[in-house]
C-alpha cells in the first residue's frame, strides 16, 4: 500500500506558516562571557549537559560543512562521537561524498543548534583521521544498527531500487548480529581540531551574546584568545 500524496501548499499558505512560527518561545538562560573558561572545551561540555537537562532533542547531532569537489559548500547532519582535548569526533565512510571531500581538502565546520535554550555553537578547523583500530573500537561500542549501517557501505552512491537496499540491509544486520566485531574497511573516524569555536546565546530582545575563542599560539590563556562579537 502506497503512502498518500500530501496535498499541495500554496506559496501564500507557505509564507503564512513560515511567518507565524515563533522563535525561542521559552525562557532563555543568561550567559556571562566574563565567567567563561579560558578554553572552549569545558564550556562546550557544560552547554551540552545543559541542553540535555533542558530536554533538547538529539543534542549530539550537528551540521557538518565541507568543501565539495566543485569548490562549493556542502553540508549534512551527522552525529558527534566525542569532544576531547584532540578535537570534535565524527565518523563516516572514507568512500562517501564527505569522505572524498575531506580527503581532498581536510578542513570543515561544525554547527550545533539547541533551540531549547536558544544556543548555537560553531567550530572550524582542520580535520585528521584516527587510526582504523580506533574507528572500529568506536563503532563496536555503538548499536547493532550502527554496525549494520557501516557494513552496508556504498554511502552516497546512486541506488537502483529500494529492494536492493532492503536486501543489503538485511544481510548486514545478520552479519552484525553474528559478528559484533566485524570489520568495516572504509569506516573512518575523523577528528576536527578547532581553530575557532563560537558560542551564541540568543536573547529575546535580540541582544544576542556571541563569544568566540580563536586559537593563537602566543596567547596567555592556553593558546586561546576570547573575543565578543556583535550580534
Whether 227 and 215 have beta carbons less than 8 Å apart is answered as: no
Please give the pLDDT value at position 221: 62
Distance CA 171, CA 168 (A): 5
**How many Cα neighbours within 13 Å face the side chain of 108?**
32
Please give the pLDDT value at position 145: 84
pTM of the model: 0.90
What secondary structure does DSSP assign to 158-172, as a single string?
PP--HHHHHHHHHHH
**CA 31 remoteness from chain centre:** 23
Using 50 as the pLDDT threshold, list the residues of the chain that sit under it: none
pLDDT by residue (tens digit) across 29-54? 999 999 999 999 999 999 999 999 99
Q: How far is CA 28 from CA 35, 54, 56, 83, 185, in A?
A: 18, 11, 13, 25, 45
Please give the pLDDT value at position 153: 78
Whether 130 and 106 have beta carbons less than 8 Å apart is answered as: no
Amino acid at each position: 500500500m502506497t503512502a498518500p500524496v500530501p496535498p499541495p501548499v500554496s506559496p501564500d499558505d507557505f509564507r503564512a506558516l513560515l511567518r507565524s512560527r515563533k522563535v525561542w518561545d521559552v525562557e532563555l538562560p543568561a550567559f556571562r562571557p566574563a565567567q567563561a573558561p579560558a578554553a572552549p572545551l569545558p564550556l562546550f561540555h557544560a552547554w551540552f549537559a545543559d541542553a540535555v537537562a533542558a530536554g533538547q532533542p538529539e543534542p549530539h547531532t550537528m551540521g557538518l560543512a565541507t568543501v565539495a569537489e566543485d569548490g562549493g559548500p556542502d553540508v549534512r547532519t551527522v552525529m558527534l562521537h566525542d569532544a576531547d582535548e584532540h578535537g570534535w569526533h565524527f565518523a563516516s565512510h572514507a568512500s562517501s561524498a564527505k569522505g572524498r571531500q575531506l580527503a581532498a581538502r581536510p578542513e570543515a565546520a561544525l554547527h550545533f543548534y539547541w533551540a531549547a535554550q536558544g544556543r548555537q555553537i560553531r567550530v572550524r578547523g582542520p580535520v585528521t583521521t584516527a587510526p582504523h583500530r580506533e574507528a572500529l573500537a568506536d563503532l563496536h561500542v555503538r548499536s547493532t544498527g550502527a554496525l549494520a549501517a557501516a557494513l552496508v557501505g556504498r554511502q552516497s552512491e546512486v541506488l537502483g531500487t529500494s529492494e536492493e537496499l532492503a536486501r543489503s540491509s538485511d544481510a548486514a544486520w545478520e552479519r552484525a548480529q553474528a559478528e559484533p566485531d566485524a570489520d568495516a574497511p572504509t569506516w573512518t573516524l575523523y577528528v576536527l581540531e578547532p581553530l575557532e569555536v563560537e558560542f551564541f546565546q540568543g536573547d529575546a530582545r535580540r541582544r544576542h551574546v556571541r563569544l568566540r575563542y580563536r586559537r593563537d599560539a602566543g596567547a596567555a590563556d592556553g593558546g586561546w584568545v576570547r573575543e565578543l562579537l556583535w550580534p
